Amino acid sequence: MYSLNKSGQRVFALQIHKRYHYANGKFSTFNKPKPFESIPGLGALPLIGPLHHFLPIIGTIGPKTNMFDVLGILEGKFGPLVKVDGVFARGTMLFLFEPDHFEQVYRAEEANPLRPGFQVLDYYRTQLRKSRYGGLHGLINAQGPEWREFRTKVNPALLLPKLVKLYAPGIDEIAQDFVHRLSQITHDDAYIKDNFELELTKFSLEATALVALGSRLGCLKDSLDSDHPAHRLMKSTRDIFELTYKLEIRPSPWRYIATPAYKMVIEAYDTQWEISMMYINHARKQLEERGYDIPEEEKSVLEKLIAIDEKVAVMMASEMLLAGIDTR
């Protein structure tokens, strides 16, 4: 998965499912790769792994840090390649900070990649809400052939160059509204200092939703009621990011105990599904009223996804919202 550190540098995180040996030594300047165990990282203890690093007072990281702080600490202390051993049945994680390394990982992967991660989301889709998803796996949590099958389904709807022309006017309008909003709030230095990231999130969600849900949400309005769908969707998406760090990166016993963070992220996933379904049902009604007999190049991403399967449309919309904000 991808994330950003505090300075905006992109970070690539892998959860190790199995260890590969590359005969061509792509990951080393030597003829043979170095042992996996030689990768620097947080020290681990028997049974508890790196848990002690996150404890108050004695921990090198502490209990109150966020994802940005942790990434900065890891890179500053260990360099561009960092290993964090697993705990509570979580696999070992490997953090890459150099873009060249990202490329090497992708090029070394097979056609059916294994990218374990987001285990709470995987449990949510395959176990907790199994009847809702009906065995469907998205790009975030699918592995191997399942990932390739879903990717093959959605590629034709997402990778057409002509889509740029279709969405350019709408995205330009959103950009203009964002610039206008910034011009209205830049006089408030205190607000900008504390909330500039929130404003970027609003812009990212508004732009991504135009493609994913076929509609503007209204995130850039001066004020949104707490029960407005745009506010609820924005809150649930931000909650998912913050809680994913607590559940997936920090040591967490959520697999054995329904922790408060676990309950909150499940609620956030439910909210995201509910609101996505609402917008997609609205879009489908508009499509039915308009009719489907239009040139293929004029059909929206959402229309193409609905034609594949409504659940595929909701799944892809949900993942686009998450990825669209994360890669802003």
Per-residue pLDDT tens for 12-48? 555 554 444 433 344 444 457 788 889 999 888 887 7
pLDDT category of residue 11 using cuts at 50, 70 and 90: low
Strand partners of residue 84:
93
Give the pairing type, strands 10-15 and 2-4. antiparallel
pTM (2 d.p.): 0.78
Q: Are residues 73 and 35 in the same domain?
A: yes
Q: Are residues 103 and 124 in the same domain?
A: no
Q: Are residues 93 and 130 in the same domain?
A: no
AA letter at 46? P
**DSSP secondary structure letter of residue 84:** E
Show the domain range for 168: 120-324
Is 114 part of any domain? no
What is the C-alpha to C-alpha distance for residues 233 and 324, in angstroms, rounded to an integer?
A: 13
Q: Are residues 173 and 310 in the same domain?
A: yes
Is 49 part of any domain? yes
SS3 label, residue 242: helix
What is the C-alpha to C-alpha distance for residues 214 and 208, in angstroms, rounded to an integer?
A: 9
Which of 77, 109, 141 is a domain's end point?
A: 109
Q: Are residues 150 and 298 in the same domain?
A: yes
| Dihedral over Cα of 135, 140, 144, 147: its sign | positive
Is 115 part of any domain? no
Predicted confidence at residue 267, as pLDDT, reads 96
Query: Which of 143, 146, 147 shows the shortest CA–CA distance to 119?
Result: 143
Is 320 part of any domain? yes
The terminus-to-terminus CA distance of the chain in angstroms comes to: 14
Q: Are residues 213 and 286 in the same domain?
A: yes
AA letter at 124? Y
Give me the number of domains the chain comprises. 2
Q: Are residues 28 and 97 in the same domain?
A: yes
Instruction: Provide the CATH number for the domain around residue 268.
Output: 1.10.630.10
Which of 58, 78, 109 is a domain's end point?
A: 109
Q: Are residues 9 and 145 in the same domain?
A: no
Q: Are residues 158 and 50 in the same domain?
A: no
The angle at the Cα of 97, spanning 94 to 99, to the nearest 5 degrees, equals 115
The token pair at 155 is 């590629």
Q: Are residues 60 and 139 in the same domain?
A: no
Query: Which of 273, 195, 197 shows the shortest CA–CA distance to 236?
Result: 273
Q: Are residues 124 and 72 in the same domain?
A: no
Q: Are residues 139 and 184 in the same domain?
A: yes
Predicted confidence at residue 7, as pLDDT, reads 43
C-alpha dihedral, 9 to 14 to 20 to 21, nearest 10°: 20
The model's pLDDT over 127-152, given as tens digits with 9 standing for 90+, comes to 999 998 888 888 888 888 998 999 99
Predicted confidence at residue 261, as pLDDT, reads 94
Predicted confidence at residue 13, as pLDDT, reads 57
pLDDT category of residue 292 using cuts at 50, 70 and 90: low
pLDDT of residue 328 exceeding 90: no
Predicted confidence at residue 24, as pLDDT, reads 39
The model's pLDDT over 178-235, given as tens digits with 9 standing for 90+, comes to 999 999 888 888 888 888 888 888 898 899 989 988 888 888 987 778 888 888 988 8
Which of 87, 109, 131 is a domain's end point?
A: 109
